[in-house]
Amino acid sequence: MASVFLGINDRTFTYSFTAGRSEFQGTGFRNPMDFALGPDDLVYVVNRSYESRSDGTRINLFRIGEDKEEYITEFGSYGEEAGQFIWPMSIALDKDTNVYVTDEWTHRVTVYNKDGEYLNHWGIHGQETESLTGHPVSPSALTTRSSLWTAATTEFRSSPLMARS
């Protein structure tokens, strides 16, 4: 069913290897929500973790090799301060490999550089509507083209956002 839905019904896929494992830190993942593929075989993975054990909330960065993954770093953490998130949901990269992460709890989009250094964020927790302020409301999905797009779970719509410096 899924292969027909995606239009992929005439290909055969062969298992290569598994990347990561169930861990709260390092090379493992804890409730992975989304991932983004970067240049040079880099993979960024959003981990939501648990509210009762928030130390697994982070972004993992690793490189896919010939037959295994190479752990590079992790960044971000649980919280409401700059560079932190509570319910990270989606991730996207722009043409400069800046990393955009949505947070359903804080209603923010947080931006990091390709190495995981915090750059900025925008969004206001509790904001009722995106149309009044340009801030995302419960952003759950993210993609980039020439502009940034979010999908808001509470408003059942997609909206273009302009990246802010």
DSSP secondary structure string, 53-117?
BGGG-EEEEEEE-SSSEEEEEEE-EESSSTTEESSEEEEEE-TT--EEEEETTTTEEEEE-TTS-
Looking at residue 153, which CATH number applies to its domain? 2.120.10.30
Residue 1 covered by a domain: no
Q: Of 110-119, 131-140, 142-151, which range is least confident?
A: 131-140
Task: Report the distance separating Cα 127 and Cα 104, nearest Å.
Answer: 12
Residue 2 covered by a domain: no
pLDDT for res 76: 93
Residue 126 covered by a domain: yes
Residue 140 covered by a domain: yes
Residue 96, token pair as written in the block? 């400069």
Given the structure tokens 């925008």, which residue do they identify?
122
Residue predicted with more confidence, 86 or 146: 86
Residue 15 covered by a domain: no
Comparing CA positions, the residue from 63, 68, 28 lying closest to residue 44 is 63
pTM exceeds 0.85, yes or no = no
What is the band of 31 on the pLDDT scale with cuts at 50, 70, 90? confident
* Number of domains making up the chain: 1
Mean pLDDT, the chain, whole residue set = 75
Domain containing 79 equals 28-161
pLDDT for res 2: 46
